[in-house]
Structure 1
Amino acid sequence: ASFPPIYNPSMPFQSAVLGGICDGKKVTIQGLVHSHCTRFAVNFICFNNDIAFHFNPRFDDGHVIVCNTMQSSKWGSEERTKHMPFNKNGSFEIAILVLGHAFQVSVNGQYILEYRHRVSYQSIQSIQVNGDVSLSVVTFTGPSFQTHMSPFPPPYSATPNYTQNPFMTPAYTAPLASCPPVFAGSMAPKTQKGPMTIYNPTMPFQAALQGTFTKNRKIIIVGNVPYGADRFHVNLLNSGSRNIYLHVAPRFKEGALVRNTQDRGTWGPEERHMSYMPFVPGQQFQMEIRNEGGCFGVSVNSAKVFTYVHRLPGNQIDMMEVAGDVTLTYIQF
């Protein structure tokens, strides 16, 4: 699988490993070493903030590459390579291949080193680049949790799987935080077979899922962003804890597509990197959110936009919310 490249990201750079981490995943980083560079680093960061792989070229320490692992805020023993393929004012391409036993690193097409795993690579959540370099493009290729997207059903399908609810009631009248999980439709039995479909729901929208958001389950949202819109958001959450497992928030005045998780009332670090803004004021959109097993895969208008690695167990999600500057015509979950 291949994901849209991240072009000209700001530094320091951090992104989820798009598609999730797995044997055969390849991360390619292209950039330029600054003339005043003393050192820079590429870090593969785990859920618990351990650094599984620290790749650290140093011009100020004998022109070496230092590799290491940090566990519980403590560095292990360094592995040093005296072959320095980087030059100040020079461009570079770093390709890091994740294998079952090790990371293999090539620079400018030449194999440089292998670093054997000291912690489980499957705990890696994100990649970070910092130091005296600028980046032009970061790409993620190779195996992923991505599954084949099924075609979008017709908006007014006559098949039994789609239940139209003509008598729409407001999703809630109390403040959101105090609202119990309810269905937005007048008829929404939890025993219904197949996906639930709701047309033209009242905004803001809130609904309990039938069961939990298990692997390969998906949510389809069709709506319209009005002219002059500032922002809207989609939340996938647990009705009991109120933890927000996935928060997707297009912010038009900022030109950002923000993703985050809220755990026990505290927001984590935002993920903002994208190759383009898929939502446009004045235009309709079709959004699909799929639980891909270790991450959420999000597509807009049939194009994969981003992957968001689970920070909390995705199968605990039993509720969804949509609010902000958006109108909805169709939701299927």
Structure 2
Amino acid sequence: MGFQTIKTPVVPCVLPISGVKLASRICLSGNAFIGTNKYLCIELFAGHDIALCMYAQFGPEKMEMTLNSCIDGIWQNEERMENPFVIGKPFEMKIKNKSKCLKIKVNGKRFQYSHRLPASTISSIGVRGDVRLESISSIICKLLASQPAQQGTSQPAQQVNYDGPPPMYGESTSLTPLNLPPSTMTVEEKQAPKYTY
């Protein structure tokens, strides 16, 4: 198992991760606030595709969250639900890769999102909008079918090839792997995805 974490990353950010194998987890903690964007967006990128876009809106009329994927530049069918993020309250989010879906938990509220792209192709995570992050952690499980996991053993996470974020984050992006200090992480923020309601 490999483990990577970074404390207080600057938002917006795009961070390479070491791949998302079966039973691997991504954990985020932070605080949503009232800002000019009125949204929180967490994305799992697979090259130039978006395997998962969690887009939470804040406002008097819209307190909902949509889940979607963008494959070959085309947004797929979105799934809508109640927004689990509360402005001004800390949140803890866990994303766990299962064989058929991503299981997501935000402050005890559970939901799942069926895979539309193979989770093994996920190469980075992006966060933008009105949020302060305390930490992002990536726990990559490396279980081999022929070898049972041994308690107390671990291996460092493997570095992945990363060919940059999708175009919506801009071409002038400075990327830092999760195991480096956050002082070098800057990303030019672009518009949130345009959803039609």
Counterpart of 2:134? 136
1:58-207 aligned at under 5 Å gives the runs 58-60=57-59, 62-82=62-82, 84-108=83-107, 110-144=108-142
- Partner Cα separation in structure 1 for residue 104 and residue 178 of structure 2: 25
Paired residues in the alignment total 162
Which ranges of structure 2 fall in alignment gaps of 5 or more residues? 144-152, 165-170, 182-197
What is the CA–CA distance in structure 1 between the aligned matches of 2:86 and 2:63, rounded to whole Å? 10
Structure having greater relative contact order (Cα 8 Å, sep ≥ 6):
2
Q: Which runs of 4+ in 1 moved over 6 A?
A: none
- 1:57 alignment counterpart: 56
**TM-score, structure 2 length as denominator?**
0.71
> Helix, strand or coil: the match of 1:5?
strand
> Shift in Å at residue 105 of structure 1?
0.7
Q: Which amino acid aligns with 1:272?
A: T
Tell me if the contact between 2:44 and 2:125 (Cα under 8 Å) persists in the aligned partners.
yes
Partner of 2:11: 11
Alignment of 1:265-304 (within 5 A): 270-275=174-179
1:148: how far off? 6.9
Query: Mind listing any 5+ residue stretches in structure 1 that lack a counterpart?
Result: 150-215, 217-244, 247-259, 278-333
Q: Whole-Å Cα distance in 2 between the matches of residues 90 and 74 of structure 1?
A: 34
Deviation digits for residues 139-165 of structure 1 (CA, Å, limit 9, x no counterpart):
1114048x977xxxxxxxxxxxxxxxx
Identity of aligned residues (%): 21
Cα offsets for 1:18-49 (capped at 9, x unmatched): 3x2211110000111112261111111012x1
Distance 1:148 1:103, change over 3 A: closer
- When the two structures are superposed, what TM-score results if normalisation uses the length of structure 1? 0.44
CA distance in 2, matches of 1:96, 1:126: 14
Q: Give the Å deviation of 1:3.
A: 1.8
CA contact (8 A) 1:261 1:268 kept: no
